[in-house]
Amino acid sequence: MNRRVFQFAIALLWLAIPLVALEYRRVWDQLPASMATHFNAAGQANGWMPRDIALKFGLGIMAFLLAIFTPLLWFMSRRKADISSWAMLGFCGVILGFMVAGNQAILNHSLQGTPVRPDAMLIVLPVAVVLLIAIFLGVKREHPLPPSELLAEETHSGRAWSLLLVPGLIGPAIAAALVPVTALRLSMATIGLIGIAATAMAWSGFQYRFLRHGVEIRTLGFRLRSIPRQQILGYDVESWGALRGYGIRGVGDCRAYVWGNKVVHIKTSNGEVFLGHNDPQRIVRDLDQVMSR
């Protein structure tokens, strides 16, 4: 990745704020004192604001999002990043693009009575989330290991986390079943499917397969990562803090597969890998077999 180009693209995201501000300024004298600023899934106005508050609110939301996106993307630019970094940048751009388009739709509604149609965002945003997840899981997988003797197999599950995720599936399920707006139903169904997959992944856990040629990491039958034996430089037990997150984590050349607070940190010639486990010494012993120690 060209770091300077990536950082320049991050800076371009901030153009969303002056673009919206200039458009408001261009039509300011034509706007009504009170503007419709909130619409239901059918595009019907159900919330109003004074025009100055509407402007400040719209710019404030974008500034808030940029304050979250910028440090994250900048951190990615400081590491050895990959296509997932560009995918994340594109995802942030999609969200900000919809913010700009949404503000323009509000202005058009106030000036010309043009209907506000949130259908596109309700469909495109969940699809963008799915693509982002697919790209993130697809990179850094490495090539499959050649068939070889299975030395050991371990499972690291997060069943407590799966129980916490279940209540979050109720809202999308109800919306997908009852809301009459097709776009919203499709959106909620997509979000629900993502939630079901995450819950199943946490319940099933990560499966580590220790082979003569290296280590394979899987979940739900899907190969997440292969670590060839010749790439392993060293490994050791470490603690893992909640602030670093759980599940599949990491950007660039770092990946973590963690549901608890104990990990084995594997240093490889192609990055760092963290394998969570309640008894990390078992992972160390299995790695010793792989390395023939």
Task: Output phi, psi for 142, to 5 deg.
Answer: 65, 170
* pLDDT at residue 1 in the model: 55
Bridge partner residues of 108 (DSSP)? none
* pLDDT at residue 293 in the model: 62
CA neighbor of 216 nearest in space, from 230, 203, 206: 206
274: its two tokens: 């963290």
- Pair 259, 286 in one domain: yes
Side chain identity, residue 253: D
- Pair 215, 284 in one domain: yes
- Pair 19, 95 in one domain: yes
**CATH number of the domain that residue 278 is part of:** 2.30.29.30
Each residue of 174-201: pLDDT tens digit? 877 777 777 778 888 888 888 999 999 9
* pLDDT at residue 115 in the model: 83
Q: What is the pTM of this model?
A: 0.79
- Pair 116, 10 in one domain: yes
Low-confidence ranges of the chain (pLDDT < 50): none
* pLDDT at residue 180 in the model: 73
- Pair 121, 151 in one domain: no
Q: What is the mean pLDDT of the chain?
A: 89
- Pair 288, 223 in one domain: yes
